[in-house]
Structures are given as C-alpha cells and as structure tokens.
Structure 1
Amino acid sequence: MSTDFPRPVTIAVTGTHSTDKSTFLQRLADRLHRDRIEVAVVADLGAEAMERGLLILANHTWVSTLWTISRRMPLEVQAWMQADVILIDRPVSDALGYYEAALEYRGQQPNPASIYHLKELGGVSK
C-alpha cells in the first residue's frame, strides 16, 4: 500500500433505522472540533433518496442501492481531501445490507450477478 499521503482516520457507523447514529456522529464531531481536529461528516442519504423518488428501507431496490453507492463515493472522496477525521453515517455496506434485507422481507431472491456488481462498485468484500 502506498504511503504517499497521510490517510485520515475514517469512522463509519452502520445500523438499523432510528438508532441515533447521526446523533452519535454529531456529538463526536463536536468533540473533535473542540480538540481542533478537522472533521468531515458524510451524512446519511435516506432523505435525499426519498426526495428523488427512490425507494428505501423495506422497499429498497437495486436502483436505489446503486444510486446510494454512486452518490456516497464522491462525497467520501471529497471528505478525504479536506479532513483529518471522516465520520460516515451509513457506509456503502449499510446500503447493501438494506437492499438484501428488503429482498428477504419481500420474499424475493437476490440476483447474484446484481449483488456482485453492487459489491464491486462499492468496494465491499465478497
């Protein structure tokens, strides 16, 4: 692995809906700011997805998952370029987990090729 640039500390929080992930990350960011540490927060994309008409939670689809991954990655790259610590509210793995859970909830089987494509795109281990 290259060490040409300092890597920021990255903390990603994943979990079920309404479990205070955002609140925890905001409190952590506030604390780090008090210690004069440059922090970037990559927020949850659920509200933006809904505004765009994308289905989430139990109705999550391949398209909404693809959008989430594609939207999240440039936000994380931007954060990497400007902060010492990056706090991520719902990383790529969370979107994949919600998609797989939504399929199971609806009694549908995932298409292995589609899951593989999303994992590859998001850089998630197989």
Structure 2
Amino acid sequence: MNDYYIGENVRMLRKSAGLSQAQLAEKMRAAGRDTWWQTTVSRVENNSQAVEDLEDLEVLGDILKGSVTKGTPLGQRMKVFSEKIVWMNIESRLHRAEEALAVALQNLDEAKQLVQMKREKQDNGDD
C-alpha cells in the first residue's frame, strides 16, 4: 500500500514515541516481522517502499500506539470494517440476552405455576 500518509504517520508516531528508526526496526523484528531494518523504516517514511503486508501495519500501530493508516483510504475502510464488527458483536450479545431472557421468563412461569399448585393444595388441605 503505497500511500504518502502511511509514511508520514509512521515518521510522526515514531518520533512521538521517542524511537529511532533502528529502534523501531528492532521492535518490529522482535514482533516477528523479520524483514524490518533501519533502512526499511527509512524507505517507508520516505515513501520509497510501500507497506504491503496488513500485519506489518497492525504491528506498527501496536508498537507506535497509533493508527499508521489514519487519513488514508485504507484507514477509512478499516474504520468501517471495525464498526461493522462492533455492531455484529452488539447484535450477537443482544441475541444471546434475548435467549437468556426467554429462558428466565419460562422458568418464572414454571415457578409461578408451582407456587399456585402449592397454594391450591394448601387451600384444599392436601398438604
């Protein structure tokens, strides 16, 4: 993804984190991104090398504590995708809550019936 803003975002976030290019590359390698070196960071920041791997973007964001795709078309798509996942999660939780409520109401009805039967027995002197 060759996007001017990704390189600028990496540079800005790296500097805000107080990391040198070499330190960022070292953290990337420690996170399993073995092809990252100081020269890689430099090329990405200068937009002469694209970040093609989405996992690289995710790891960069985690290390730098920010979005390296902010202000990019990819960033917008990721935001929309993320919002859809949140809504799907909310809908799933709501569905489970509705199911649990239905079971609880059924249990309540059964308990009411048992209480009513017990009262009727007591009223009839069967107990």
Name which one, 1 or 2, has greater alpha-carbon Rg.
2
Fold-level similarity (TM above 0.5): no
Structure with more relative contact order (C-alpha pairs < 8 Å, separation 6 or more) = 1
TM-score normalized with structure 2 length: 0.26
